[in-house]
Structure 1
Amino acid sequence: MRMLNFLLAAAFIGLHGCATTGAPAPKEPEAAPQPNLVNVYYATGRQPSAERDVYFGAERAELSYGMADVGIPSRHLVGRHEEPTLLRFESTPDDRKHITVQRKTNYSKDAFYYYLNKAIARSPGGKVLIFVHGYNVEFAEAARSLGQLASDLKFSPVVLFSWPSQGSLTGYTVDETNVEWAQSQFLELLNGIIDQTPAKDIYVVGHSMGTRLIARGMTTLASDRSAGDLIRFRDIVMIAPDIDSDVFRRDVAPRLARTNIHVTLYASSGDNALMASRAFHGYARAGDSGEGLVVVPGVETIDASIASGGLLGHSYFTEDPRIMEDLFSLLQSGQRADNRFALQPVEDKDGRHWVFRK
């Protein structure tokens, strides 16, 4: 009996030991990686909105300034614009997986240039990039796109000029009216960057209808400012420009050429938004390579038809790694088209343009 009690006690101790020292305790769940924040400085002619995550609406307003913090997911891939999609049963943004606007801070004009100048002073070479969005774009979407662009290009600081686009496919006519209305505000920003910042290298990038602001604004600067002011502008990049191609050849390109600023144009034959614009206006657009690629002196034209760009094929600069990598070579390395490995030259009756190597 004494032996039985001893064996039972030993068994109990053994079992108790297994319970405490056997299988390892479950690990604490890992905290979700925090997004990387990109500072997007902005100047906008939109009316402020009280609606959550909208920030600014589609109505006109006086120019106002601030900074938006854009969260880039820790697992972000270059040339991929991560956003909720119904294909993955996602309806709301998740900052662990999607590019999001985390917050915005309103600045006075003086505070805007104070903080922007501090950022320019920290940048290698005193650089700044100005971005103008296109048609059918809300403020938050424009901030997210520029946040991604800044992250992928490793470029800082960046400034968004956001004009009052309706953010709607059916708002095209109103957008055309508002982009004309915004010309003086964009020119005010350009003059402010010249007069109130120490930036040595200024880069101007526009998409779609936003390139109209750049075309007008830069040619106005050419007539109003000195050569010493203009030499600070290193590159003008027009992505999918929604500008009449004949007007671009006859008027826009020669005027831009007189600024002596390097100009790059990206066009695609797969851009359905510009095809719709061509049908609406009755004439081809400069960013549509389907009917006569725009090849003119003073402009390096890149045929990006190989690229993918979302449902409409219009946003390829944020959706295709090849375009983003080419922009990096252009804007960060200063390489011209003939020196960029991804590009192959093509000669035709109008001159030389470039396509992406397959």
Structure 2
Amino acid sequence: MEISPQIVGTFLDKLKCREYYTLSKSIPFYVNYEHGCIAIINKNQNTIKVGVWKFYNLVAEVLGSMSFKTSDYRSYNHISYLLPIVADLLLFLDEDIHDYTPPRKGWSNVKRSKYSTKIDIELTTLQNRKICSSSNKVASRAIEHGEDISESTEKIVDVHFATNRVKVNDARMFSSDIGIATCYGIAKISIPETHKFGKIEKPLSVLNVKLGEKKGKHFTVDHTEELSFKEFRESLTSKTSGESLILFIHGYNVDFKSALFKSAQIKNDFKYKNPLLLYSWPSHANPLAYSGDKERVDQSVDCLAKLIVDVSELGIKNISIIAHSMGTYCLVKALKQLNSQVANFDSLALASPDIPKSAFINNYFTYVKSAFERVALYASSKDKALWLSKTINRDIRLGQAGENITIINGVETIDVSKADFGWYKLNHSAPIGNSMSMIDLHNFLIRKQPAEDRLLAEAFTANNEAYWYVHN
């Protein structure tokens, strides 16, 4: 089902003085929409205000996950109040919500919203009352009234991998050293029940000393198994049923375990049922080894090129690639080496690409377009890692936005500058770590939506060239 911001806006305009009920316990609350804001009045007469873009993004997630379980949307505050509104929207559009995963107690307790005159009185009484925005307060009230906001079970996510790293003895893991042959396998990653969308839960580090990971609290490697190339191919094809596959190529300063965690996080958050294949090139995993990582990229091009050919011969209908940071450089070099030998890939997401802008346009773009039907470029003006790369290499990077933003015919350029993590962060992983950017990436890769149908706003350069940007 396709829902545009315009359709959601039409529904919200009709959202006046409505009485709703939480999906699990049928606790009443009231909703009114005005001035671009959804106002929710709960049983304790506290007012909660939710911005339109937050609601738009939740709608997109519900459509993608096909679920009305509160535990599937931990990154949202007030989810017990928002999901009934989403359900009402789908019913408004004649969607059969019984095709979706039901709330904890099924659909039998779910009540339709109705017009209420009581909300007029409540709004007048509460118009000067302080907005309740604390998620902890909402959670405590939900528990007090019996609303389940924490239903979940621990998840084990399978990640297929191919790597030219050297194996660590007896650990079934891989080091930062470069090997001669490609190793294949599958890793089982444990994700905690408290996982939040777009995040990787990991232990704190004190004075650069990392504390131990705890299963159930942090991402952990449950098990890894090496496979022969034949077993690897058979595993991929048996788990895809010929439908789809995502290949993820990580960036600079990433060790093997971190690459597994990021792959598992993407697969889990996308609720992706088919294989996600990680290609892990031997980054030094050291922020001071930028030049060394560039050399490792050059040394890994042959390995990635062979993997791309192998994947293209699996007979899978839809193959998409997410390439991040310096991993994008390895990818475009491999595509150029293959010289348009592969042309059956579906979508490519270039996330914070650390590629010289001029080199991409003049030397690599032809090979990218011949291999992929759809290409999206995620860029940011607040990416400090790319700013440093530009300073070192004395060349504008493809992943930079602002006055350096790259607009190419046939490429969707998405500015994620507003989806930053704060001034003290590198903001280099915003396209694959920020929840709003991740939602757009999901809509691009999984739902195959063009930019104009996604939850993006349009903008123009000084030369009147159109691009898009993510709201936060």
TM-score norm. by structure 2 comes to 0.63
Higher RCO (C-alpha 8 Å, min separation 6):
1
Q: Equivalent of 1:317, from 401, 426, 431? A: 431
Specify the alignment match of 1:137 in structure 2.
254
Aligned ranges 1:184-203 → 2 under 5 Å:
184-195=302-313, 197-203=314-320
Q: Equivalent of 1:272, from 381, 384, 387? A: 384
- Contact 1:148 / 1:318 at 8 angstroms: preserved in 2? no
Aligned ranges 1:160-309 → 2 under 5 Å:
160-195=278-313, 197-221=314-338, 223-225=340-342, 230-231=343-344, 233-259=345-371, 261-309=373-421
Specify the alignment match of 1:334 in structure 2.
448
Specify the alignment match of 2:191 in structure 1.
72
1:261 alignment partner, SS class: strand
What stretches of structure 2 of length at least 5 have no aligned partner?
A: 1-151
Distance 2:231 2:245 in 1: 17
Change (3 A) 1:90 1:48: closer
- 1:92 and 2:212 correspond: yes
Deviations 1:64-92 (A, max 9, x none): 100111111122111122111248x9722
Amino acid corresponding to residue 243 of structure 1 in structure 2: I
Amino acid corresponding to residue 141 of structure 1 in structure 2: S
Specify the alignment match of 2:263 in structure 1.
146
- Contact 1:222 / 1:259 at 8 angstroms: preserved in 2? no
Change (3 A) 1:93 1:350: farther
Distance 2:193 2:362 in 1: 46
- Contact 2:419 / 2:471 at 8 angstroms: preserved in 1? no
- Contact 2:376 / 2:411 at 8 angstroms: preserved in 1? yes
1:114 offset after TM fit, Å? Answer: 1.1
TM-score norm. by structure 1 comes to 0.83
Change (3 A) 1:152 1:350: same
Distance 2:251 2:464 in 1: 28
Specify the alignment match of 1:117 in structure 2.
237
Distance 1:318 1:235 in 2: 16
- Contact 1:346 / 1:355 at 8 angstroms: preserved in 2? yes
- 1:344 and 2:457 correspond: yes
1:92 alignment partner, SS class: coil
- Contact 2:256 / 2:280 at 8 angstroms: preserved in 1? yes
Percentage identity across paired residues of the two chains: 30
1:222 offset after TM fit, Å? Answer: 5.0
Deviations 1:117-171 (A, max 9, x none): 11111xxx61000010001000000010000000011122110001110000111
Aligned CA-pair RMSD:
2.2
Aligned ranges 1:9-28 → 2 under 5 Å:
none
1:220 offset after TM fit, Å? Answer: 4.0
What stretches of structure 1 of length at least 5 have no aligned partner?
A: 1-32
Distance 2:296 2:421 in 1: 25
| Larger-Rg structure | 1
Moved over 4 A (4+): none
- Contact 2:250 / 2:326 at 8 angstroms: preserved in 1? yes
1:203 alignment partner, SS class: strand
1:282 offset after TM fit, Å? Answer: 1.1
1:58 offset after TM fit, Å? Answer: 1.2
- How many residues are matched? 315
1:257 offset after TM fit, Å? Answer: 2.7
1:291 offset after TM fit, Å? Answer: 4.2
- Contact 2:198 / 2:269 at 8 angstroms: preserved in 1? yes
Specify the alignment match of 1:159 in structure 2.
277
1:115 offset after TM fit, Å? Answer: 1.1
